Chain A
Amino acid sequence: EPEVTQTPSHQVTQMGQEVILRCVPISNHLYFYWYRQILGQKVEFLVSFYNNEISEKSEIFDDQFSVERPDGSNFTLKIRSTKLEDSAMYFCAIEGGGDPSGRAMNEQFFGPGTRLTVL
């Protein structure tokens, strides 16, 4: 099973500050996703990223958000000016690449998440 790590595990920041959340897939993958989950609520899609470009984004993913793959391995989510309502768990997910045998349709592998707390 593909492995995904995320750093930091917990980030505390002041409102208005910039944060960068990192995702590191252990092996080569094609598609990357960011999701968030506000405490007690459902998992929400933010953005998908393929071939160094955003392929789809949700209404949540406004101008304060950006994603990039700066060095071909790390996949980052940046929030330029955090708001209180950005407090949530942020999950990176990967799909595709590697050995496809035995893999289900649209099967995504999620990282452990970064808990972002905005004060």
Chain B
Amino acid sequence: LAKTTQPISMDSYEGQEVNITCSHNNIATNDYITWYQQFPSQGPRFIIQGYKTKVTNEVASLFIPADRKSSTLSLPRVSLSDTAVYYCLVVAGGYNKLIFGAGTRLAVHP
């Protein structure tokens, strides 16, 4: 599976939009880009997944350019409760282990 690279940490303020970019240069044709969120002392939680272009759900948007070598998770109008670690993963089809990197530690300030 393709290795992912994302910033170690980010800071934001309540009400701002946060964009976290992830690079996955070696992504394969069958791979999907997936983002998980983890709060302290909790298990990771699925946020969003995409293959190409843009995906939006009630929590976030995911932007994927045509070459799919990177992706951007967008969190609109963050609140204090969005403070968490966000992981970018590349997943293949079928039932497979998830490979987590270090993630991006997002701190939202009042």
Residues of A within 8 A of B (CB): 30-31, 33, 35, 42-45, 48, 50, 55-56, 58, 89, 91, 93, 95-96, 104-113, 115
Contacts and interface: CB of A to CB of B under 8 A. Distances in A.
Size category, B interface: 20 to 34
19 contacts: A33-B97, A35-B100, A42-B102, A42-B103, A43-B44, A43-B87, A50-B95, A95-B95, A105-B32, A105-B49, A105-B91, A106-B92, A106-B93, A106-B95, A107-B49, A109-B46, A110-B45, A111-B43, A115-B41
Contacts of B99: 45
Contacts, number: 68
B103 A30 contact: no
A96 B95 contact: yes
Contacts of A105: 32, 34, 49, 91, 93
The majority secondary structure among interface residues of chain A is: strand
Contacts of A30: 95
A92 to B, nearest CB: 8
A91 B32 contact: no
A106 B100 contact: no
B38 to A, nearest CB: 8
A104 B32 contact: yes
Closest 7 CB pairs of A and B: A110-B43, A104-B49, A43-B100, A106-B91, A45-B97, A91-B43, A31-B95
